[in-house]
Amino acid sequence: MNLIYLMIEVILCYMTIIIIYQKKQKEGLYLYTIVGLILSNIMVLKRTEILSLEIALGFTIYASIFIASNIIVQKYGPEEIKKLLLALLISTIVSSLIIFLTTLIDGSTSLSLMNITFDYTFNNIRLIIANSLSILIILWFNAILYHQIRRIKNKIIISNILTSIIVSFMSTVIFGFIAYLGLVNIKELSILILIRYLIILIIELIGTIPIYIINKIK
Amino acid sequence: MSEIIFLIIIIISMITIPLAYNYLDKKGLYLMLIIMTIVSYILSFKVLNIWGLNVSANIITIISLFEIIYLLITKETNKNQNNYLSITIFCLIGTSFTILTTSSYIPSINDTLSTNLKELFINNYPILITFPILLIISEIISPQLYKILNQIYQNKIISINLNYIIIGLINSLIFSFIAYNNINFINKINIALATYFIGLVISILYTPIFNYLTSKKKVRL
């Protein structure tokens, strides 16, 4: 069942990127990545199983953020990513801070069950930081790498595949270390990183299709 | 302690909006619109207890959201006047989709959060449905009312606060009555009026910032 949800999520994410680009071009891609980062910070709090392999959720939107940034580089050049990074930094700090601070405020006793579950759900700031930092640190490197590969070999498939292989590994390692170091042993940590890497890599490789389609749109 | 944190959140909201506008111009306002919309939706699932009052946790971000919309109406060209509405709708659909997807995935054996997520979002489905509908209706009506009030009084500050006095009351009452279905009538009235009152205070606190930003001609890019 989870695999079906995953496939629906992948299709919806990439369809959204294509539609939003058609409607609002560059601003649409900015909108998608900013909304995507805030929402992946919420999804990452839950752990699920894909093909019996355990993984923290939010990885579909996470991977699609890199695809959206590749489209921005493809269409407008790597310099645009600097502006995107600033917007992502502001959005992740403000949203996470407000939500986290709210969990520290006493809840009303008349709706105590709802308030307790809210606090328990959103006070895991470590996972949110891991998710945000792994994107923010790697996104600039992703843009430069994609741009350089594109300059050497001007083919979308090669640029996206090579960038995805390297970048998704680096971002997953950063996420894994920040999120799980000290909570699990090194062997378990390596497995968690490897599983997340493979799933994100597959989703990013599928992401070549929207890049290709959007590149055809004038 | 809760009251101090509440005040810190007000300060964060009040500082970030002018900063975003200063550095990113109108794009900064759109950025804050996205953040405040999603955060408001998430915070609608908590009711705070501050100064002995039961207040909806999203009141600060909702007021910030409307201040941003009034600023955009003032600054934006006629052609782009309704951009904020399409962005809000996109954010709300995205957040609803995320909430539903996250709750639907079958959790792993080690996951301790899954029951909580279902408890929080699915069991409180009236909030999940009521909040986005009310927000979209408010965002359609509120700017129209603001324009009418501004024509009558020729004063942006009076128009904004009068606008909240009318829209805020209706909004708080409808939301409390529909969204919080498992508490009694008195508690619903308490939450609605307390949220409305605190919202009015925050709205007044925003007045100098709004005044400063609307009178600001040149911005640093």
Domain ranges across chain A = 2-216
pLDDT at B221: 46
What pLDDT band is residue B75 in, cutting at 50, 70 and 90? confident
If you measure CA to CA, which chain B residue comes closest to A91? B35
Q: Which of A38, A98, A106 has its CB closest to that of B12?
A: A98
CB-closest option in B9, B97, B104 to A98: B9
Long-range contacts of B137-143 (CB under 8 A, 24+ apart): B138/B66, B138/B167, B138/B171, B139/B69, B139/B84, B139/B85, B139/B88, B140/B85, B141/B167, B142/B66, B142/B69, B142/B167, B143/B69, B143/B70, B143/B73
Q: Is the separation of the CB atoms in A36 and A64 below 8 Å?
A: yes
Angle at A199 between CA A197 and CA A201, to 5 degrees: 65
Which of A53-57, B120-124, B139-143, B155-159 has the highest mean predicted lDDT (pLDDT)?
Answer: B139-143
Contact B180, B173 (CB under 8 A): no
Contacts of B32 in chain A (CB under 8 A): 94
Q: What does the pLDDT read at residue B217?
A: 61
Q: What is the pTM of this model?
A: 0.91
How many residue pairs bridge chain A and chain B with CB atoms within 8 Å of each other? 165
Structure tokens at B160: 């904004």
Report residue A205 as tokens: 């490789």
In sequence order, the β-bridge partners of residue B12 are: none
Contact status, residue A140 vs residue A85, Cβ threshold 8 Å: yes
Q: Do A94 and B38 touch (CB under 8 A)?
A: no
B154: left (phi over 0), alpha (psi -120 to 50) or beta: left
Whole-angstrom distance, CA of residue A55 vs CA of residue B107: 10
Helix axes A59-76, A186-206, angle to 10 degrees: 50
pLDDT above 90 (res B212):
no
List the single residue in A47, A99, A124 with the smallest CB-CB distance to B108: A47
- Asked if B24 and A113 come within 8 Å (Cβ–Cβ), the reply is no
**CA A81/CA A34 separation, integer angstroms:** 12
Helices B59-75 & B185-205 angle (0-180, nearest 10): 40
Whether A83 shows a pLDDT value over 70: the answer reads: yes
Q: Which of A88, A93, A23, A82 is nearest to A62 (CA)?
A: A88
Distances (CA, A) of A52 to A9, A45, A47, A84: 18, 19, 12, 36
- How far off is chain B from A107, nearest CA to CA, in Å? 4
Give the Cα separation of A108 and A115 in Å (integer): 7
**Nearest residue in chain B measured CA to CA from A52:** B108
Contact state of B50 with A111 under an 8 Å Cβ cutoff: no
Q: What gap in Å lies between CA A177 and CA A164, rounded to an integer?
A: 20
pLDDT at B218: 53
Could you tell me where the DSSP H helices lie in chain A?
Answer: 2-43, 59-76, 80-104, 112-122, 125-152, 156-180, 186-206, 208-216
Cα–Cα distance for residue pair A99/A104, rounded to 1 Å:
9
Is pLDDT above 90 for A65?
yes
Q: What is the pLDDT of residue A122?
A: 86
CB B34 to CB A104 under 8 A?
no
Q: Nearest residue of A to residue B57 by CA position?
A: A102
**Closest Cβ–Cβ partner in B2, B35, B104 for A94:** B35
Contact A55, A49 (CB under 8 A): yes
Interchain contact, A39 vs B95, CB within 8 Å: yes
Every domain of chain B and the residues it spans: 2-103+115-215
pLDDT at A18: 94
What is the per-residue pLDDT for B12? 92
For chain B, strand residue ranges (E) read 47-50, 53-56
Backbone angles phi, psi at B198, to 5 degrees: -65, -40
For residues A41 and A128, is the Cβ–Cβ distance under 8 A? yes
CA A80 from chain centre, in angstroms, equals 18
B57 SS3 class:
coil
What residues of A are in contact with residue B98 (Cβ under 8 Å)? 39, 42-43, 61
Q: With beta carbons under 8 A apart, name residues in chain B contacting A9.
A: 101
Q: What is the mean pLDDT of residues B31-48?
A: 93
Looking at residue A37, its pLDDT comes to 93
The mean of the pLDDT values for chain A is 89
Q: Residue type for B13, please?
A: S
Structure tokens that stand for B17 in this block:
């909006």
Confidence of residue B114 (pLDDT cuts 50, 70, 90): low
**A31 — pLDDT class (breaks 50, 70, 90):** very high
Do B101 and A9 lie within an 8 Å CB cutoff? yes
Query: How far is the C-alpha of A111 from the C-alpha of A133, rounded, in Å?
Result: 34
Task: Give pLDDT, residue A3.
Answer: 84
Over residues A34-62, mean pLDDT: 86
Q: Kindly list the residues from chain A whose CB atom is less than 8 angstroms away from the CB atom of residue B111.
A: 46-48
Question: Residue A57 — φ and ψ, nearest 5°?
Answer: -70, 180
Closest in B38, B49, B91 to A108, CB measured: B49
Distance from CA of A128 to the nearest CA of B (A): 14
Written as six digits, the tokens of B138 are 């408010």
Nearest CA in chain A to B179: A111
Nearest to B35 among A49, A95, A111 (CB): A95
More confident residue, B215 or B188: B188
pLDDT(A216) > 50: yes
Q: State chain B's mean pLDDT as an integer.
A: 86
CA distance B65 to chain A (A): 13
User: Which residues in B lie closer than 8 A to residue A37 (C-beta atoms)?
Assistant: none
Q: Is pLDDT at A154 greater than 80 in this prediction?
A: no
Asked if the model's pLDDT at residue B35 lies above 90, the reply is: yes
Q: Are A26 and A76 in contact (CB under 8 A)?
A: yes
Closest partner residue to A110 (CB to CB) among B31, B32, B183 is: B183
Q: Given this model, what pLDDT does residue A5 score?
A: 86
Higher pLDDT, B41 or A45: B41
**pLDDT given for residue A88 in this prediction:** 93
**pLDDT at residue B20 is higher than 60:** yes
